[in-house]
Amino acid sequence: MTVITSAVGGLLLSLEILKKKLHFSPQMLHYLYYVCLEAVMKHLNLGFVGFGLIGGSIARALRKDGADISVYVYSRRHNPELEQGVKEGVIDEIWYKIDERFACCDIVFLCAPVLKNIEYLPVMKKWIKPDCLLTDVGSVKGNICQAALKEGLGSQFIGGHPMAGSEKTGYANSTDTLLENAYYLLTPTKENRPEDITLMQEIVGKTRANCVVLDYHHHDQITAAISHVPHILAVSLVNMVRKNDNEAEDMKSFAAGGFKDITRIASSSPAMWQDICIANGESIDHFLQYYIESLEEFRRLIAQGDMKQIYREFEEAGNYRNSMSVKKKGSISSSYELFVNIDDEPGAIAVISSLLFGKKISIKNIGIIHNREYADGVLRIEFYSEAARLSAKDTLEKYGLDLPARD
């Protein structure tokens, strides 16, 4: 691992010299960086403490990419799913004890519930080598990053959060595409070396996820607002129906698309979410309080019959929701998207791809959205620039294709 990170550090220095002396473009430097990084990336031993949906999907994606890795998994008890992982060639060995065997690992992924991951820090410190990187996959970062600093692991720990969860759990539900095009957030500490952060970015890139580096305090505010509080609301909505339904369960019987879509995440792991609620309690409390106040305001508007303001609330929310497909500012690069209503049948994507290819329009990503938000099949197409997006829009409209107005 020392050889790899030293090589990465030397690579960064060399590219900086090329930039200053030879005036290489950012695009050329980016290309050279990844070509050279592939050359210095040697075999990596990856350890996993816990190996469920996320850990399994990380390992599967790296295997699919052809990464030169060995995968060692710690499990507290015998798990037939993990035995299947060995048969599938995803896992090299299963260990039922955390001991000196972890000294061989170059990177260790902590994949337990968020509070349990913190408990593992001093345990892992005893066995890992000084240049081993530690990371986690939890959705709360502040407390574990601070705990790592207190344990003297600040230079080795880089927080990680693959934003690709599901209500499903366990290795059996992991896939090699779960992380593809999902955001994978890294939250370094103030003590991390740049070359180690770069190495983690490369590992994340091999899973086909979109890597973004954030301050861990900022991360917890974001996830409280867009993930943690919505999960709590989904649970509250389901329990509202459960506690107010009649003996015939009429509410349950008539709960269809809309209700099921917005409460799907209520089926997530209770063990995982009890930890998240406690670990990110301060940020969650802040946004819950705001939400409670907004509900009280809605209640007041309804009681007063204020139709104008009720309309405005729905209108403003709808406009903001519809704008979410294009990210124009902040840490995340812009996304240039089009949505096309199509029949979900063989050949539909190929036809549209051919139309765009004929106009020499490059596609960054393409796929059908499987979501009841759209009644019919909807194709999402992502481009490399706004100019390409507009050109594609013009081309597809000329051929009579239906493009939803949300773009």
Q: Of the residues 214, 238, 261, which one is the last residue of a structural domain? A: 214
Q: Of the residues 324, 356, 390, which one is the last residue of a structural domain? A: 324
Q: Where are the alpha helices (DSSP H) in 41-191?
A: 53-65, 80-87, 114-125, 142-150
pLDDT at 65: 92
**Segment 52-93, tens digit of pLDDT:** 999 999 999 999 999 999 999 999 999 999 999 999 999 999
Q: Measured between alpha carbons, how far is residue 287 from residues 122, 149, 220, 324 in Å?
A: 32, 27, 12, 20
pLDDT at 152: 97
Q: Name the burial class of residue 141, with classes exposed (0-12), middle (13-18) and buried (19+) by CB atoms within 10 angstroms of its CB.
A: buried
Residues 355 and 316 occupy one common structural domain = no
Q: At 246, is the secondary structure helix, strand, or coil?
A: coil
- Percent of the chain whose pLDDT exceeds 90: 63
Contact in structure between 199 and 170 (CB atoms under 8 Å): no
| Residue 172, domain CATH | 3.40.50.720
Distance CA 118, CA 146 (A): 10
Residues 192 and 320 occupy one common structural domain = no
**Segment 10-54, tens digit of pLDDT:** 555 555 555 555 555 555 554 455 455 554 567 999 999 999 999
Q: How confident is the model at residue 336 (pLDDT cuts 50, 70, 90)?
A: confident
Of 158, 156, 137, nearest to 56 by C-alpha is 137
Query: Phi/psi at 52 (nearest 5 deg)?
Result: -110, -135
pLDDT at 323: 81
Residues 312 and 351 occupy one common structural domain = no
Query: Phi/psi at 160 (nearest 5 deg)?
Result: -135, 145
Name the domain count of the chain.
3
Write down the mean pLDDT value for the chain: 86
Distance CA 407, CA 323 (A): 8
Q: How confident is the model at residue 371 (pLDDT cuts 50, 70, 90)?
A: very low
Q: Measured between alpha carbons, how far is residue 271 from residues 56, 76, 82, 115, 278 in Å?
A: 19, 16, 20, 10, 11
Residues 128 and 50 occupy one common structural domain = yes
When mean pLDDT is compared across 80-89, 176-185, 239-248, the lowest value belongs to 176-185
- The DSSP call for residue 111 is -
Please say if the pLDDT value at position 6 is more than 70.
Answer: no
Distance CA 2, CA 217 (A): 29
Instruction: Find the mean pLDDT for residues 166-172.
Output: 83
Structural domain boundaries enclosing 243: 219-324
| Residue 367, domain CATH | 3.30.70.260
pTM value surpassing 0.95:
no
**Segment 340-367, tens digit of pLDDT:** 887 656 777 888 888 898 888 988 888 7
Task: Mention every residue, 6+ apart, whose C-beta is less than 8 A from residue 369.
Answer: 339, 378, 379, 380
Of 115, 146, 142, 279, nearest to 218 by C-alpha is 142
Instruction: Find the mean pLDDT for residues 285-307.
Output: 97
pLDDT at 287: 97
pLDDT at 81: 94
Please say if the pLDDT value at position 218 is more than 80.
Answer: yes
Q: Of the residues 324, 355, 381, which one is the last residue of a structural domain? A: 324
Question: Which of 11-20, 103-112, 171-180 has the highest mean predicted lDDT (pLDDT)?
Answer: 103-112
Contact in structure between 53 and 166 (CB atoms under 8 Å): yes
